[in-house]
Structure 1
Amino acid sequence: MLSAADSYEEQQKEKLINTLSEKEQPGDIYGDGIINVFDVMRYKNSIVEGKDFDSAERIDANSDGAVNGKDITAVKNDILKQSKLWSYKSVPKMDGSTSAIPLEAGLKSKMLGVSYSDAKLLVSHHKTHESFQMLLSGENDMIFTVPISEDQKKAADEAG
């Protein structure tokens, strides 16, 4: 049975997911769904010419509250695969042992530019064995867990 606190937490989680899902891809100044050299050119031209942007949310690529050369650098680094600009939709699906919940919450906080407490709402872990099976089946992109057993290593090798 869900307590009032659990229900409130679920509502907060749903609200956060909706907010994050509606956010546009940081750095995609053109709004075409991809980050490329055209976004960098528009950043440079707009900053030099002092023009305002239509959507500060996606334009403030590094989420520091200002649109400047640091955003151009963040976009260039994303294009060159030196770093990644994350949106809620592009964050890898994570799971693992429950002792690793703080690690995942910390990662999501930095990746999405949200508070640690908000990021923790987005974390839901299974037991280690179940997490590993979900990784092998493709339901998760990565897991945080203790070192795997020889049987698990064999299953991973067989799964490819």
Structure 2
Amino acid sequence: MAENNNAPAPGEETTNPNPDGFKPIETQEAFDALIKDRIERAQNAVRKEYQDFETYKSKAEGYETKMNEFTKQITDLTAERDQLKGEISKRETAAEKSRIAREYGLPESLADRLTGSKKEDWEEDAKALAALFKDQRPPYPQPNPADPIAENSDLLRLAREL
């Protein structure tokens, strides 16, 4: 045996001082050889677990693209719905104002001029406008026989020509 450094001399066999049969690993190459199988099994297990990763990744990207398209469609349709609701509301308001204007004898052109935010306000405004238009004919001049006839009046000239 070699000196007291417990390392075997070249050509000498090493005896295992441990009765369990444990042999300590003395080099990196020996360690790598022992765990090579374990590393390969672990790597294969991981590869097997993640072998469909790319498939799932592409599916997820496809779903995300479709979700973005549907979100945009929802946004566009919501905006269109709101616009159509606004148009319907305007038309219903115009129809109601027109009906109220006819009911109070106002010209159709004054229907959009009715002010207010609800039916009662429009009716009050229509009543006020109708009162203004009631009997708004200009008064006919009543001839007064005592009034002197102007010499230059057109009627007098016409009468003389006859």
TM-score range, shorter chain: under 0.3
Q: Name which one, 1 or 2, has greater alpha-carbon Rg.
A: 2
TM-score (normalizing by structure 2) = 0.22
TM-score normalised according to structure 1 size: 0.22
Higher relative CO (Cα under 8 Å, sequence separation at least 6) belongs to 1
